[in-house]
Every structure is written in structure tokens, then in C-alpha cells.
Homo-oligomer: A and B are copies of this chain.
Amino acid sequence: MTSKQEFIEKLRNSSLRPTKQRINICEVLFNRDKTFHFTINDLFNLIKDKTGEKVSLATVYNTVDAFLKKGYLKEIPINSNQTYFDTNVTDHHHFFDVKEEKLIDIKNEDVGPIEIQKSIPGKKIKSVEVLVKLED
């Protein structure tokens, strides 16, 4: 349970003004036990449901973008008509249940170290992510 006051500080520390909208978005995103995988539309709807206040779609996009840049969210590489985001910003992997269109975390230690025996001159590795697609 994170308090509203902590979100306000977190926003201020990030040079983001603690607006009512951003605080509400923080509540929905970060006031939870488990990791949260979502699309913009998921989030947009949850804000209304959980806080009773409506935030414009543009602000949801803007805020998610800002949080991505600050490293409070990350984008999950997956082919879908919508982009998926994740509140778990640590290194980890995913199942994607193709039928349910749901992501499920796989902890790093449940996959083991991945050694890439190939390199590209002049480029360095930014991230290594495993996507496991699931079917029935």
C-alpha cells in the first residue's frame, strides 16, 4: 500500500508535476501487489473504474510515455494490435497466452542465463527478452 504522498514525491523527484491525473494513474499502476501488464485501453478504463475520475486518453498516453522515459514502466515486445506495458521493470521474461491475450511473468531464474554466442560489431546488447507463446 503506497500512499498518495509517496506518489507526489516520486513525481516531484522526477520533475513531473504531481497533477490529480498523474496521481490517479500512479494509484492504478503502482498500488498493487503483483506486476501489472496492460494496454493503454486497459489503463484508461481502469482509471475510471478505480478512481471514479476520468482522465483523457491523451493524458494516459502522455503519462505512460513519461513513465517509460523515467524507467517506471517498460514496453513488452509482442505482436498485437495494441502495445503492452509492464510495471515490472526488472529483467524478466513472459508467457503470452495467445487466446486470452494475456501476459504472464517468468522470473529470470526460471529461464536461466541466456548466453548469446554471437555479436554484431559496433553494437552492444541493450536487452535480452524471451517470449513464450502459449496455446491450449
Q: What is the total number of copies of this protein in its complex?
A: 2
Q: Tell me, rounded to whole Å, the shortest Cβ–Cβ distance linking A107 to chain B.
A: 8
Instruction: Name which of A10-18, A38-46, A49-57, A114-122 contacts chain B.
Output: A114-122
Cβ A130 vs Cβ B130 within 8 A: yes
Check A69 for interface membership: any CB of B closer than 8 A.
no
Known: A110-B117, A110-B118, A116-B132. A97 touches B123 (CB 8 A): yes
Return chain B residues, CB-CB under 8 Å to A58: none
Return chain B residues, CB-CB under 8 Å to A122: 136
Return chain B residues, CB-CB under 8 Å to A112: 114-115, 117
Cβ A106 vs Cβ B95 within 8 A: no
**Nearest B residue to A135 by beta-carbon distance?**
B126
Check A89 for interface membership: any CB of B closer than 8 A.
no
